[in-house]
Amino acid sequence: MAREINSYSRLVDQMGLSEELPDNFIRAVQYFTFLDLVCDGAEIEGFATPSANGKAIPTSLLGPSPSNNIETLTPDEREYLQLAQQDIFLNGRAIRNLDNDETIINTSLALRVGADNQQIMTGIDTLRRSETLTPAIVKNNRNMEANKITGTVQAGQNVNDTPTHIIVTLSWASLRQLHPFDGSSQGLIITEGEFAPLARSLPDPVVSPDAGAVHIFIRVSNKDGVEIARFEQGLAAISVGTYARDYQIQIPAAYRNSDQAIADNFPLEVAVLRKDLEFRSNNSLGRNPFADLKQGRETVRKNVYEEGSRRFT
């Protein structure tokens, strides 16, 4: 099963990853966390390459230290860690070569030294707590509020273990539409029938709830029903098999940064809604998916997009 474990906006904002792909392509990012334990004098000698270059471990890195966020490192810390990356090999390749070029991107390095117990090394989303949305299909049916799916996020025991982000995982049995003539898998943007002119007229049809993309709307409210965060995104990719994606929403700090703020706002409600209107033969629930299409010299009445029949489920 294909699964995207981070929202694309998070990859851009927090990790600096950026790429331009066609609307029908799915991005996928995999993460691995490696833990290497080195002892017996590591804090004296350090990594081989920095040591050979006469660079001692900066005392500020004798930690426990955070991962090497480039924005917070001093020049000495940055130089030491970049030299140390020449001594770390993944699948036979050094993270950084002798010319100081990064050959394996988006890695981080944290040092732990000493004989006492150390704080746990952070990984990728290492601290999670599961909450469950009502297990059901999110529908619009001309009334997205009546068909929303909801779940509850509880507070922790104190400020430190109260959630800072909410991750909602959505899945589809497939993401595609079948071409009305040859049955091939197509992206979700409308290309045939009476709704196609509108889709073609939009500069970015993926962001519109009317052009065929599934339009996801996630809303977070406090215990009094006041909205505190939201997330909207269109999805128009192709996945013949099951596909799942994680959507991350940050809980604003003002609602969780003190015991009083937590008491005033938690538990939170998470609502998942669908803003795009389905294609259904029943017009009271959606848009009629039938269209008169030209096939050679004939005009053929085709069921173009009906959901669950020719579109994703």
Cis preceding-peptide flag for 267 (omega within 30 of 0) = yes
- Under a CB-based contact definition with an 8 Å cutoff, are residues 252 and 134 in contact? no
User: What pLDDT shows up at residue 313?
Assistant: 63
Comparing CA positions, the residue from 258, 277, 256 lying closest to residue 267 is 256
For residue 58, whether the previous peptide bond is cis, meaning omega lies within 30 degrees of 0, is: no
Residue-wise pLDDT tens digits, 134-179:
678 899 999 999 999 999 999 988 898 899 989 888 888 888 888 8
The predicted-structure confidence for 88-146, as pLDDT tens digits, reads as follows 888 788 889 988 888 887 777 776 655 555 555 555 444 566 676 667 889 999 999 99
State both tokens at 313. 């489920």
Strands 243-250 and 2-4: parallel
**Segments of the chain scoring below 50 in pLDDT:** 1-8, 65, 124-126
What does the DSSP 8-state code read for residue 185? Answer: E
